[in-house]
Structure 1
Amino acid sequence: MVDRDFDALDDPVGASLRGPHAHLARRLGRAVTYLPGVATFSAVPVDAGAEDWADLARLLGRGEFADMFSCPATPPSDWEPVFVLEGRQMIWPGGSRADQPHAEPGTRVVELDAACVPEMLDLVARAQPGPFWPRTHELGTYLGIRDNGALVAMVGERLRPPGWTEISAVCTAPEARGRGYAARLVSALVARIVSRGERPFLHVAGANTVAIALYERLGFVTRKHVVFRGFRTP
């Protein structure tokens, strides 16, 4: 595995939008955000000044939500705080693939496409893994597991800073939990990411100890603790 630039992980949203996800970006000056319906994540440089925040406000519109993810820059005082959430950034340290954990016999991982979006949105509404919008699937590959035809678990790719791919939307329907589906899907996606010469990483809420324990069992290690923040534009 070729060593990658860890600096890209310090600004994963900005690095994605100025790199592999440039086709899904809106930019004004040094401010950047995703297209509507794809994601609400936005970024400005760490040394952002008043002009950068003004540009981001113009991109988003008046009174709109600005999900600054883990961006440490502080917005002007007239940006209304919406949420603050402590979390972790975890990385896959290397190796050819994740260990394949146990899952119920007969489970098969399938690739999800645009036709599956209504089912994906329904699963997200029931499992609550985090933000997922009608065009979020355009960020990368999404994998799922079906039970009698119904989508009961999925995982997908989100941020794409150069050399890295974020694993996200890890979720299982309440009635299908305890079968090893999440571990199987994350392992399958790790293998895909590694096979194309990139390294997997992910973000998780610090209070979600169950998910953290799962990711650690699969081989992920904590790179750093982060703070996720959201604001409303003036």
Structure 2
Amino acid sequence: MTPGSSTSLHPLDYPVWTALTTTQRALAEGGALARRYPVPCAPFAALAEMSAECFAALDALMAPREIAVLFTPDAVSAPDTFKVRLAETGEQMIGTPAEAPARGVEIATLGIDDVPAMMELTTLTKPGSFGVRTHELGTFLGIRIGGRLVAMAGERMKAVNHTEISALCVHPSYRRRGYGRMLLSAVSQRIVARGEIPFLHVLSSNVSAVALYRRQGMETRRRLLITVLKKPA
């Protein structure tokens, strides 16, 4: 099964390929065989099919030591020109999270001036890939306490009428205050207001996060394989 093999494929079966050939095609680097986001935005890439020609096209897009993260329904068998740094299952969860009104805090829209604070928070909490231009992929919201960014969440992949919630993170000193639920709700409400469907990805091994999202009303649509390939020096 490949992105072009069947018209019955769901847009989220190959979320990166769908995003970079539809809603976010203007961001795409590459062509008919392989595509990826600009590295400062995200390390995600996709192949038209699992063939030697497509892997060669991906290799041509990458500089030495760069990584490419693939989201696929099936296991990736990469040629020896790549090193497999990670191969794990991930839950692709979909649905509209329960409403959680902001209480006692203000939820602010983040922009380019907030990038240093966003980078600092994501480096500390490690919610997933976040680069200096990730904020350009969609709206990012945050909560500040005493002028310090302590929680954030935003939008990443946009595949047809589906938008991914990403970078949901809370500073360790400010957890158990409901900030994560507030931001999950606020981001999803913006997505739904545009007539789109929220979804997200989380490693299957992150049991606590999967349980949190389920309590908030999201359901696993399917499991995908998350594969991290690195181009050697």
Taking structure 2 as the reference length, the TM-score comes to 0.90
Match of 1:214, SS state, is helix
1:170 paired residue number? 168
CA distance in structure 2 between the partners assigned to 1:101 and 1:57 by the alignment: 44
1:91 paired residue number? 94
1:61 paired residue number? 63
The letter of the residue matching 1:70 is: T
How far off is 1:71 after superposition?
A: 6.0
CA contact (8 A) 2:45 2:70 kept: yes
CA distance in structure 2 between the partners assigned to 1:135 and 1:121 by the alignment: 10
2:72 paired residue number? 70
> RMSD across aligned C-alpha pairs, in angstroms?
1.8
The letter of the residue matching 2:144 is: R
The letter of the residue matching 2:136 is: E
1:22-65: CA deviation from partner (whole Å, max 9, x where unpaired):
122101332001112111111002x3321111111001134432
Report the more deviating stretch, 113-122 or 70-79. Answer: 70-79
2:41 paired residue number? 38
CA contact (8 A) 1:28 1:59 kept: no
CA distance in structure 2 between the partners assigned to 1:52 and 1:110 by the alignment: 42
Taking structure 1 as the reference length, the TM-score comes to 0.90
1:61-93: CA deviation from partner (whole Å, max 9, x where unpaired):
34432212336342223321111122200000x
Aligned CA distance change for structure 1 residues 154 and 146 (closer, same or farther; 3 Å) = same
CA contact (8 A) 2:154 2:165 kept: yes
Q: 1:148 aligns with which of 146, 149, 152?
A: 146
The letter of the residue matching 2:83 is: E
1:84-114: CA deviation from partner (whole Å, max 9, x where unpaired):
122200000x6xxx432376x4111111111
1:129-183: CA deviation from partner (whole Å, max 9, x where unpaired):
1110000111101011111111100001011110100001010001000000000
Matched, 1:20 2:23: yes
Match of 1:158, SS state, is strand
Aligned CA distance change for structure 1 residues 71 and 133 (closer, same or farther; 3 Å) = farther
Q: 1:189 aligns with which of 187, 190, 212?
A: 187
CA contact (8 A) 2:14 2:71 kept: no
Aligned CA distance change for structure 1 residues 148 and 62 (closer, same or farther; 3 Å) = closer
CA distance in structure 1 between the partners assigned to 2:128 and 2:89 by the alignment: 14
Q: Pairwise mapping of residues 108-147 of structure 1 onto structure 2 (< 5 A)?
A: 108-147=106-145
- Residue segments in structure 2 that go unaligned for 5+ positions in a row: 1-7
Match of 2:71, SS state, is coil
Query: Alignment length, in residue pairs?
Result: 224
CA contact (8 A) 1:88 1:224 kept: yes
